[in-house]
Amino acid sequence: MSRRAASVTIVETLGDDLVLLSIRPNGVIVTATKLQYGLSGSELVRLAALRRVDIERGRIVVLNEAATGDVLLNEALASMSAGRQPPTARAWVARHRGPLVRRYLDRLAAAGTIQLARRKALGFIPVDGWTILDAGRMAAARARLDAIAHGTGDLGMPEFALAGLATAIGLPLLIYRGRDGSAARRRIADAARGSRSAAEMSKAVSAAADGAPDAATRAAADAASRAAADAVRAAADAAVRAATDAAVQASIDAATQAAISAATEAAHHAANSAAHDASGGGGHAGGHH
């Protein structure tokens, strides 16, 4: 598969890959609280790659409202133009959009990739678990992240998006564990910061600017044509980069805030329980005689 084809695949499968990589060997999705923000971020990246949206001064501007061929992506696009003014990327990614994670799971189940399996935690608490049916599809998702983690491929915008969104929802710590996984986590963190992709962008822009003057006579036309095409691609890549930067940062912000809120709520609940126990149950004992 060519580099460009591989990059297109990463963009197209970005949301589904995040879901599959979130399913642990026991079938539980431990990133569930954060995953919805990663999925929203992936939709923003995909819409930018399709040139349906752009980012201007931090706000999402819809360029083309035509159907994308993906129901979930269509709904995301429609929600971006529903307000009186374009939403900021941060506000849109953080917006609650119903059971988004479950809809992705149901779609993967309908495709025969995964299957719902009802399980019991601690022997009596019912929980939803997911069994991987399509091992090849799961392996492909893992291979895309492994290529970043182990430095086995060149990095561009799609890889930057995958690394950034995976980091936002906490996947590197789950997949590349302990001391043995530290180098892999570091490479993903580097990619999430966009350092390598920024260097690649610089080379693409330089090629677009410098390619034509070096050509001579009959070859000048071909060089100018290639330079123009490179310039168009560089402009498109710059737009996708802006959307990717915004999507990743918005997903990290939203996921972090969700984690803080969950921790605060848990602490508040624990404090209330302790106070209740200290007061002897609030004086309700024996209320059912």
Q: Concatenate the DSSP letters of all residues of 126-176 into one string.
A: EEEEEEE--HHHHHHHHHHHHHHHTT-S---HHHHHHHHHHHHTTHHHHHS
Residue 30, in any domain of the structure: yes
How many other β-carbons are positioned within 10 Å of the β-carbon of residue 106?
13
Amino acid in position 155: L
Q: Are 211 and 223 in contact (CB under 8 A)?
A: yes
The closest alpha carbon to 11, from 279, 263, 240, belongs to 240
Which comes out higher in pLDDT, residue 103 or 58? 103
The closest alpha carbon to 184, from 167, 196, 168, belongs to 167
Residue 181, in any domain of the structure: yes
Quick one: how far is CA 40 from the chain centroid? 7
Q: How far is CA 5 from CA 2, 8, 11, 269, 285, in A?
A: 5, 5, 10, 50, 68
| Residue 217 confidence (pLDDT) above 60 | no
Which comes out higher in pLDDT, residue 282 or 93? 93
| Residue 2 confidence (pLDDT) above 70 | no
Give me the CATH number covering residue 71. Answer: 1.10.3630
Mean pLDDT in residue range 63-89: 92
Residue span of the structural domain in which 151 resides: 3-258
- State which of 31-40, 192-201, 261-270 shows the largest mean pLDDT: 31-40
Least confident of 58-67, 104-113, 181-190, 245-254: 245-254
**pLDDT of 157:** 85
Mean pLDDT in residue range 168-195: 91
Supply the pTM of this predicted model: 0.76
Q: What is the mean pLDDT of the chain?
A: 79
Domain count, the chain: 1
